[in-house]
């Protein structure tokens, strides 16, 4: 018999649903324990911290859906961060141009990744290992030393609540317009992430290209035989991944008003993005999951680290606990393994 829609949604999206519940539980508990919990200040701080990794996790999602991995997301984000730190200042026109140029840089780099993977027919994981190095090299050329002067007003406006945004730019009566009141407490970074997710990711998922991305990850041969545009979807996926990484880099530049071609930071972002994707319930085998799930995964990663600031934990044990929590969190995937009754289902 046909299952009810809700039941079906839950059973087909078990990963995301569990991740969302976990995130809510963790975040609510954090707010209860925080001396100033459930306040705009805390929400603004939290979303600021999570925005860049959320973008990068979304960027990682697309190659993963294809059944590959992008080891260059962190590097592309870093490159865009450096580009933005040079370009995003001056007159409003120049600022807008700088932002567009930054997004274009990441998008172009993503497209380059896609072309190498598609036309060079090199496995994504190894192709992006190489292009990641190139991206870092370029970032170092753009910004040999950390620094930069991203427009200060922009930085303030985009890293605070909606009210501050309106206030900074004198919009909606400096934020006091009555119609804005329901929204004044929402953190801007939250809006930005949601905006990108809703206006870019969700429509993309509902195009033939987006569906092809899922189809390739699930069964590439079948996708080809079904007459789907394989090459186009691959390139599109990497391009969109580059765009998301660029959003992350741009936001990072605005948030820190500077750029930093830091190899280690790039590596950390790449690895964390993979962890976020997995925590969100997207399968590393491809075909199942989505960018929203990764976004949630990224938030879980961040919320876990929030706890070190409110609990009293020996600082030298923190890295150990962080590692164990990560290990345990990803090991929840094993529950599926234990429940499997037909061992062939393990070899997917």
**Residues from 191 through 210 that contact other proteins (CB under 8 A):** 203, 206-208
Out of 27, 163, 201, 269, point to the residue binding other proteins (CB under 8 A). Answer: 269
> Interface with other proteins includes 17 (CB under 8 A)?
no
| Per-residue binder mask for other proteins (CB under 8 A), 280-299, x = binder | ----xx-xx-----------
Closer of 182 and 312 to other proteins (Cβ): 312
Structure tokens at 102: 């930054």
> Interface with other proteins includes 170 (CB under 8 A)?
no
Out of 278, 292, 293, 300, point to the residue binding other proteins (CB under 8 A). Answer: 278
| Per-residue binder mask for other proteins (CB under 8 A), 26-45, x = binder | --------xxx--x-xx--x
CB 296 within 8 A of CB 280: yes
Question: How many residues bind other proteins, per CB under 8 A?
Answer: 120
What do you get for the CA distance between the two ends of the chain, in Å? 26
Out of 127, 233, 245, 295, point to the residue binding other proteins (CB under 8 A). Answer: 127
Out of 25, 177, 195, 268, point to the residue binding other proteins (CB under 8 A). Answer: 268
Site for other proteins in 137-166 (CB under 8 A): 137-138, 140-141, 144-148, 152, 155-156, 159
Determine the interface stretch with other proteins among 165-173, 175-183, 235-243, 307-315 (rule: CB under 8 A): 307-315
CB 83 within 8 A of CB 274: no
User: What CA–CA distance (Å, rounded) separates 123 from 270?
Assistant: 17
Among 324, 221, 285, which residue's Cα sits nearest to residue 69?
Answer: 285
Out of 115, 129, 171, 200, point to the residue binding other proteins (CB under 8 A). Answer: 129
Closer of 96 and 340 to other proteins (Cβ): 340
> Interface with other proteins includes 224 (CB under 8 A)?
yes
CB 103 within 8 A of CB 220: no
**Contacts (Cβ under 8 Å, ≥6 apart) of 4:** none
User: What CA–CA distance (Å, rounded) separates 74 from 295?
Assistant: 15
> Interface with other proteins includes 172 (CB under 8 A)?
no
User: What CA–CA distance (Å, rounded) separates 236 from 318?
Assistant: 40
Closer of 96 and 271 to other proteins (Cβ): 271
> Interface with other proteins includes 6 (CB under 8 A)?
no
- DSSP one-letter code for 38: S
User: DSSP string covering 71-109, please?
Assistant: TTHHHHHHHHHHHHHHHS-SSHHHHHHHHHHHHHHHHHH
Closer of 90 and 336 to other proteins (Cβ): 336
> Interface with other proteins includes 305 (CB under 8 A)?
yes
| Per-residue binder mask for other proteins (CB under 8 A), 46-85, x = binder | x-xxxxxx---------------x----------------
The nearest distance, CB 17 to other proteins, in angstroms, is 16
CB 104 within 8 A of CB 237: no
Among 191, 185, 192, which residue's Cα sits nearest to residue 164?
Answer: 185
User: What CA–CA distance (Å, rounded) separates 261 from 180?
Assistant: 39
> Interface with other proteins includes 12 (CB under 8 A)?
yes
The nearest distance, CB 96 to other proteins, in angstroms, is 21
**Contacts (Cβ under 8 Å, ≥6 apart) of 168:** 153, 156, 157
Residues in the chain: 348
């Amino acid at each position: 018999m046909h299952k009810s829609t809700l039941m079906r949604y839950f059973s087909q999206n078990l990963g995301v649903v569990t991740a969302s519940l976990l995130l809510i539980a963790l975040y609510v508990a954090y707010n209860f324990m925080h001396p100033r919990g459930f306040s705009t200040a805390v929400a603004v701080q939290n979303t600021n911290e999570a925005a860049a990794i959320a973008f990068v996790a979304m960027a990682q999602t697309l190659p993963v859906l294809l059944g590959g991995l992008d080891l260059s997301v962190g590097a592309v984000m870093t490159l865009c961060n450096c580009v933005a730190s040079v370009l995003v200042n001056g007159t409003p026109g120049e600022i807008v141009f700088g932002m567009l140029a930054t997004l274009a840089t990441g998008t172009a780099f993503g497209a380059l990744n896609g072309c190498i993977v598609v036309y060079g027919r090199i496995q994504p994981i190894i192709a992006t290992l190489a292009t990641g190095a190139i991206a870092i090299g370029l970032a170092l050329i753009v910004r040999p030393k950390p620094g930069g002067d991203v427009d200060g007003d922009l930085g303030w406006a985009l890293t605070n609540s909606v009210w501050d945004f309106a206030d900074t730019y004198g919009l909606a009566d400096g934020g006091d317009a009555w119609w804005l009141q329901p929204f004044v407490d929402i953190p801007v970074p939250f809006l930005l992430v949601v905006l990108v997710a809703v206006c870019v990711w969700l429509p993309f998922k509902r195009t033939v290209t987006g569906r092809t991305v899922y189809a390739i990850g699930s069964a590439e041969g079948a996708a080809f035989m079904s007459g789907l545009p394989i090459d186009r979807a691959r390139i599109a996926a990497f391009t969109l991944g580059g765009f998301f990484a660029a959003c992350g880099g741009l936001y990072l530049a605005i948030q820190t008003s500077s750029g930093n071609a830091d190899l280690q930071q790039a590596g950390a972002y790449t690895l964390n993005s993979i962890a976020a994707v997995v925590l969100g319930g997207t399968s590393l085998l491809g075909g199942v999951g989505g960018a929203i799930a990764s976004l949630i995964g990224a938030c879980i990663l961040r919320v876990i680290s929030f706890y070190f600031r409110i609990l009293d934990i020996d600082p030298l044990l923190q890295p150990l606990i962080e590692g164990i929590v990560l290990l345990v969190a990803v090991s929840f995937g094993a529950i599926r393994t234990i429940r499997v009754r037909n061992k062939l289902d393990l070899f997917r």
